[in-house]
Amino acid sequence: MFSIERLRLRLIRLPLVAFFETSFSRIYDKTFILVSLDGNGVEGLGECVADTDPYYSAETNVTAWHVIKDFIAPLVLGRTYAHPRDVFPSLARVRGHHMAKAAVEMAAWDLAARLQNAPLGQLLGGTRTEIASGVSIGIQDSLDDLAGKVARELDAGYRRIKIKIKPGWDVAAVEAVRARFGAIPLMVDANAAYTLADADRLAALDRFGLMMIEQPLEYDDVRDHAALQRRIATPVCLDESIHSVRAAEDAIALAACRIVNIKPGRLGGHAEAIRVHDVCAAHGIPVWHGGMLESGIGRAHNIHLASLPNFSLPGDIAASRRYFVPDLIEPGIEVSRDGTVPVPTGPGIGVTVDWDRVAAATLEMHDVKA
Ligand code: NPQ
Ligand code: MG
């Protein structure tokens, strides 16, 4: 049982260590909303994964700020919850806006875990003490640059390499990586850059024995993914399309994918993410934890969630230093030589926030009490 007495929003901008390019954009810094919830003498933190532009999903930092401030805050402030799983249903009147909802919901889980003096993973139902870590390598300026990045990440110990693809940066990129590095655990992510008319081009990836191809087709197109999966041997993994438990059930029923990427921000928070995890487990669909270039705060949430049993493939949960130097937490998330990240054992998300760094990176603030 916990009460939400105060909500704070901070708009934060952090420079990225290196640019990150996907089929939809190239970014040099990350701008996001940090949510703090105070109640019962403790503070919970959540990080919103909306971007500056509506290119990965329809939400942006501006829509999330608006929806949290004007619609979600009035629903949660002054309210007492028996359990953090009750937060998402309490926001049902607000349609969509899962990233906005998730940032608040996840802060509530952190708050509840801290109140019990328990690590967040324990409340979520996690069963692992460490998780397997993979990397997502953006589109590069040249195949040489790509090979250099892959070499560095394999050297660091990461358990799986994902490369971003788009039309014009696909077969040749995969061919170059396979030629130089052999049978490494390798997958690709298209961020919805293709259509079913590209099926032959995507089938040309079959000979490389990829672990999976992530979200090749439109963000809202489950039926065409099912048609594509019938035409290619590489397992399809859905990311953008899995925006709810129902979307996951539909995708599984239509055989649109064999693997699911879970991001709590896309689903409305930890509780919905756990439901998708459970639905997938019941159908024998393995899941892995996606990434949204989170700071150490969002990254810590992801690690706890990824400690649940059906997260059986390495996630996009890499070390802080791949993205932010310095990070907002100290020490940052570290990856061991064998490509694993320990699940923090302290209360809540279990990482230490450097509030001076947060203050220095804050562009705007909103503070409201019950
Ligand atoms: C994906 N992430 O799996 C996403 C895409 C992505 C690590 O590959 C700001 C907000 C930047 C959202 C960059 C990875 C982002 C973003 C990439 C999402 O599809
Ligand atoms: Mg993806």
Ligand with the closest atom to the CA of 22 = 1
Name the token pair of 182. Answer: 């052999």
How far is 116 from 1, CA to CA, in rounded Å?
10
Nearest CA to ligand 1 atom 15: 292
Both tokens of 200, joined, read 């032959």
* The pairing of beta strand 42-47 with beta strand 259-262: unpaired
CA distances from 97 to 49, 303, 367 (A): 11, 23, 21
Nearest CA residue ID for atom 17, ligand 1: 292
* Mutate which of 293, 299, 322 for ligand 1 pocket (most atoms within 8 A of beta carbon): 293
Could you read off the pLDDT tens digit of each residue along the chain, which spans 370 residues? 999 999 999 999 999 999 999 999 999 999 999 999 999 999 999 999 999 999 999 999 999 999 999 999 999 999 999 999 999 999 999 999 999 999 999 999 999 999 999 999 999 999 999 999 999 999 999 999 999 999 999 999 999 999 999 999 999 999 999 999 999 999 999 999 999 999 999 999 999 999 999 999 999 999 999 999 999 999 999 999 999 999 999 999 999 999 999 999 999 999 999 999 999 999 999 999 999 999 999 999 999 999 999 999 999 999 999 999 999 999 999 999 999 999 999 999 999 999 999 999 999 999 999 9
Q: How far is CA 265 from CA 1, 50, 59, 323, in A?
A: 24, 8, 11, 19
**Ligand 1 within 6 A of CB of 20:** yes
Residue having the nearest C-alpha atom to atom 10 of ligand 1: 51
The protein residues having their C-beta less than 5 angstroms from ligand 2 (an ion) are 189, 214, 239
Supply angle C-alpha 360, 364, 368, rounded to 5. Answer: 115
pTM of the model: 0.98
